[in-house]
Amino acid sequence: MLLHPQAQALLRLLEEKGVPPTHTLSPGQARRMYLERRGFSQPQPPAVAETRDLSIPGPAGTIAARLFRPLGCAPGDRLPALVFFHGGGWVIGDLDTHDTLCRELANGAGCAVVSVDYRLAPEHRFPAAADDAFAALRWVHRQAASLDIDASRLAVGGDSAGGNLAAVAALEARDAGNLPLRFQLLIYPVTDLRRGTNSYRTHGTGYTLGSDAMRYFCDHYLGGAPDETHWRASPLLHADLSNLPPALVITAGFDPLRDEGLQYAQKLTQAGNTATHICFERQMHGFILMGKLIDEANTAVRLCASELRQALS
């Protein structure tokens, strides 16, 4: 299997432009570069019916969030909703880096999307991001009526580190007992911070995400603490994955996270849940945000939206 030609062209262009690897930058530099690149690789943000900035009370202060309502809905329509957590290794990324994707998912699925700007490392280390993610999910559930959201039709989702947070939030929602979820959308999720799978060995260098970058992200997130095997850092290692909402797990063939995403889908199924795993074999990590350059990114977005629509109908 070969990397998709459009992905190959992107890698060549990054090399020609001398774009420095994330792990060689300070967190502040990495955040700025990640934000600046969106105009280069992401499609134009589609119009939606409404966007609204939210302030969510969190365990350590206010959590910023953004609500998207899809085209075609009327004011006051009670909509199902996806609570979304952006990727970026718990270090980079924000509401703006994933604004286009959230708009696409809202329109495609016909649901509201609440994008959550959780605290980032290294300023706020594990479990700060996980704490914020669950606090935001619980708040959306409690405030659903004021947000014109149907509290009985909620999903969680995210990409990469955001997929990690979504998986953890789904486990916490199950254990809370009073926060039912309909679906998990896990896009190349981080599920095992031990970083020892075969895909780390075969695809740990030469692509958009490598072993060095994952070490950088994990070091910032964990701060050297021996927390990599705690289930809130590595949900794959939770002793009980039963009674969880249906999941769609998307992976990329040329991604060091490929194997742990597949393993999570397998463990969900073995525990009695409904879990679908789809691997975009010719793609690399982060591709779903690159619809301006990579056609299969748009296919993946449509797939995610279709599965969300069906699960939340």
Q: Pick the catalytic residue: 150, 192, 255, 259?
A: 255
Tell me the three-class secondary structure of 253-294, residue by residue. Answer: EECCCHHHHHHHHHHHHHCCCCEEEEEEEEEECCHHHCCCCC
Q: Pick the catalytic residue: 131, 159, 160, 259?
A: 160
State both tokens at 129.
């991001």
Q: Which residues share a beta bridge with 9? A: none
Q: Which residues share a beta bridge with 113? A: 68, 82
C-beta atoms surrounding 57 within 10 Å: 10
Active site residue 160: yes
State both tokens at 187.
């896009």
Q: In this structure, what are the phi and psi dihedrals at residue 116, rounded to the nearest 5 degrees?
A: -110, 130
Q: How far is CA 235 from CA 79, 125, 190, 243, 290, in A?
A: 29, 17, 9, 14, 27
Active site residue 285: yes
Tell me the catalytic residues. Answer: 160, 255, 285
